[in-house]
Structure 1
Amino acid sequence: MRATEESARVLRTAAWIWLGFLLSIIVMDFILYMPQLQAQPLPDPGPPLRIRLFPVYLFYSFNGLTALLFLATTYWDWIQEQLDEIFYPVMLVVIAATPIFISALIVPRFPPGPLANAEGMALRQLPVLFIALTLVAWKYQFAHVVVFSLSVTVLELGLIAVNPFENRNISVYLFLAIIRTISFIAVGYVISALVTRLREANANLTHYASTLEQLTVSRERNRLARELHDTLAHSLTAISVSLETAKAYFDIDPKESRALIDRSLEATRKGVDETRRALKALRSSDLADMGLRLAVQKAAESAASRFNLELELTLQDPMPSLSPDVEQTILRVTQEAIENLTKHSRAKKFGIQLFSNGRTTLIVEDNGVGFDMKSRESSGHFGLVGMRERAELAGGTLKVESDKGKGTRVVLTI
């Protein structure tokens, strides 16, 4: 149905052009014919002027009526549904055959004038036939353009041959038909080639849009995976560690065990809240409420308080305006680096620096046990992978420096 509607719109445009052409040649005939006919002496006795102009009236009546019916059909949904796939070919036959039949049968009966000869016939039908040619080249292959051009020529020459009129020079009509056929084939080839390239470009654009959509979905899935890792995974890890410790203390120190269970419940509630926020907005609420500097400060001070660590903070104030994605990347990398050092480094002290001097830099370092960079990288640790992915998506780089017994240093530059 969509293709039929598109064809109807194209045919509707062709109908309006057809009517516009008829109006223009009405004005042209009035300017050319009327002064000349009025100046010609009438034979005695001779037909009145309106009788002599009857073929002209007939020409415009048939042409105008056919063009109006053609236009009405393009708005008539019922007949389009009935004709279905043959709707477009039928309309092509109408717009191509009408000017040929009318020109071959009526124009030779025009009173003597500048457009009553063979050249006048060609001029009157050429624009409408060119519209039909364009419709063929737009819808079909170049081979159909050739068939159309030859069919129009055969039909016109056939009508001229079987319709006897005096003072007709058949060779002139034949010459004009050959020239027009060659021109139609050449112009049709150009139109067909342009339409083919346009359709190929549209197909490539559609494919590109589909690929871009799939890439966007893939990136969003990766982003969601990082968000869940930074929220839900961290909470579950902390709960698991607390419960394992509570289990170990259950018989030795019941009071400490209950305290650990209480902290696990608190971490569970916090993890649920963080997961809900991540799934709802996929953006840190701290950023929205406090801004980047205060959000980083809160994350650092919270970790230092919970794990009894010394903290050195150097945060530029004020920070330059950054895009939401860059701010979120900085905060998430900060949280991930803090989470890693509290779980793995056994550090007593850590520091965070955040400053901007044309490029924004975040440094998180600790005095923990460190790790072997090669073994850690080869294990494909998800936290480091996630931080690097975040940095790259924000247009930055992430550098991790560590060695056994020498602590760890994470540097994010955007």
Structure 2
Amino acid sequence: MNKNTRLDLLQIFRYFTGIAMIYFAVMVTLTAIQTGEGDSLTQVQAYVNFGTNLILLIYLSIPWLWRKMRRLYLPTALVYATVVPIFSNLIYLADPYENIWNIITRSWFLLPILMVPIVLIAWQYKFRYVVLIVIFSTYVELFVLIPHINKVNVDALLILGGPLIRAFSFGTIGLIVNRLVAIQQTQRKALILANIRLSEHTQTLEELATSRERNRISRELHDTLAHTLSGQAVNLEAIKLMIPSDHYEVHEMLEQSLSNTRAGLAETRRALKALRSQQLDDLGLCMAIENLATDAASRGDFKLDINITNHLPELTPDIEQTIFRIAQESMENIIRHADAKNVEITLETDNHHLLFIISDDGEGFDIGTLNIDDKLGIRGMRERAALVRGEFSILSNPGEGTTIRLLIPIHWGLNKEA
């Protein structure tokens, strides 16, 4: 039961007990005025019901009891509001000489008193609890009514028919309320699911727009910066051929410039390729990571061990992007800084988490080094992990290699449309 529903239900319950308390107080007063007595059976029953509703009103108006009793708070009130009126009605039925019409009238008197608790039980709990209350109230009343039946006739039918018809009425109303609540809950869940899918669709559209913009920037950089660097490298090669070979210093400077230009061109092409990240869309996460790692291993000259489970769940695009980008950044760090001989990549899942690990046996570093996040892009990896509610950690020591670990709750990473 959510908080708003509980507050609505308790408010309705308080209104009912307050109105019932006023009703029984008026009944006691009017009966005393008319009869001049204060201890008749009618007044005794009214006293009991007045006291019951007064206690309920006080009970339902104390928030401390709600916080203290938690789940027992409402059931206790409902049981009390149901059981006490049933037994208070037996005050009449216990007299074997009671007039039959008083018996019938008092039997139907329970209908409005028990109606609200029955509706609240059907609203909040399963239908079987309604059935239990109906059976209990009917059994208790019939158990006391049967001694009043001397023979099977119309009077007996009237006496026994009241509790049975009332039980059928309670059961029918309880069933209708319970079904309506179930339908409402189903519709609410469907609405929540629709909102989630709409949100995911909106996110997908945003990612598509972002991807298109990235591709546009990639094309423009390729047509400008990459072509410029490529042309610059060709010009430097031509200049190098035109200068006599005995100009050693000039040749050395040209060679350095040419090397820097080629490195810049290679890095630009790598950045453009990463900017587009088409392989993730075309190949899927597993194949994209394998291709990325294989390419990095050939450039970094290290041995590669890839362990990717064959039964990954369908993941949302943001999860896949996060894992791929962290893998991409980690591979570049290994190539540039680690001087590793062996690299191991693990991507696996259990019933609760998705685990991604990249470890190497390279030089490692001191995690306490200042600005290490900025230097190795670790800050960006942490931020990407946080966006998908993942836990990012890094373990490294000088000379002992580095381990990157990403842990994502599997209920968050699942693609709900899959």
Which TM-score bucket, shorter chain as reference? 0.3 to 0.5
TM-score (norm 1): 0.48
TM-score (norm 2): 0.47
